[in-house]
Copies of this chain bind each other. A is one copy, B any other.
Amino acid sequence: MTPIIIHEVGPRDGLQVEKQIVPTEEKIKWIEGLIEAGVDAIQLGSFVHPGKVPQMADTDKLFTYFNQPGKKSRPVILSGLVLNEKGLDRGMACGVEQFCMGVSASDTHSRKNTGMGTDEAIPRIIAMARKAFEQNNLVQVSVQSAFGCGYEGIVPEQRVLDIVKRFIDAGLRTVSLADTAGHANPRQVERLFGAILALDPAIDCACHFHDTYGLAMANCYAALKTGVKYFESAVAGLGGCPFTAVAGGNVCTEDLVHLFHLLGRRQDIRLDRLIETAKQVSQFFKRDLPGTIYKTGAIPASRPAELTTTS
């Protein structure tokens, strides 16, 4: 049975669309809750220019804080998103453990996001990933807009697989497919991850779904069954743009962990602590967030009586 790894991306992908700046102390409180809950990895932020995304301006500070002795109550991997060489240097300077970086399979999305087309971006990202890898960091490379693009619509699956092959050929073994626009459907998820694992069954596949069209949970279940190992999710389902209907949040961490509990998996991750954190986030933004379980509670019979470690 493929292990399940929960990679919380709320502090990065969940917050970067929020207009209301979250103070560093507030982020620290939420991240502490996520660590106590027992998620495996947390993406603390993005090494983007602070003028471009002010919400991410304290990313270096968060890493410095949590890298102090005694600040992590449980073992957890702290990851950071890097977009360019300068970001990679910043990340290395403040002790990022896992570097995440990616290329968009949609040329239009790539140009809008980075000023470069996909073909130009691939070798740059591979060079950055190799550099991080050779300095003994964990590295995850991703294909963004892997299941469709808000600008281009359908993204050919072969295009995604060609990028993944380039990653694999460069010795990069942890590959995420990101459904940036929320266009993925579960059959497509099975097909694409199935094709990657057919290339090499030892690749660590990661998935990143947005719930724009209500399909994120079905996509996660399809990914699980296909052999995907890493699940990127955001507490409370953060990440939807609150000012437009057509930008859904990330799949919700506590809802996903709840599903895994029902499947008898990862019952070591504490739902109560995730729910408490989701409530804090919702209270901070003074609005309902997309998550379900933080409002309803878990299915009564699925609540683990005690902390168990039968992951």
Contacts and interface: CB of A to CB of B under 8 A. Distances in A.
Interface of A: 148, 153-154, 182-183, 185-188, 211-215, 217-218, 220-222, 245-246, 248, 252, 255, 258-259, 262-263, 291-293, 295-301
B183 A299 contact: yes
Tallying the copies of this chain within the complex gives: 2
Contacts of A220: 218
Interface centre among A215, A222, A299, A301 (most CB of B within 10 A): A299
B183 A297 contact: no
A214 B252 contact: yes
A215 B214 contact: no
A294 B229 CA distance: 33
A296 B215 contact: no
A247 to B, nearest CB: 9
B297 A246 contact: yes
Contacts of A252: 214
A293 B148 CA distance: 17
A301 B183 contact: yes
Given A153-B301, A299-B148, A214 B263 contact: no
B293 A255 contact: no
Given A296-B245, A301-B153, A215 B213 contact: no
Given A185-B263, A221-B222, A222-B221, A213 B300 contact: no
Contact of A300 (B153, B214, B215): B153
Interface centre among A183, A291, A296 (most CB of B within 10 A): A296
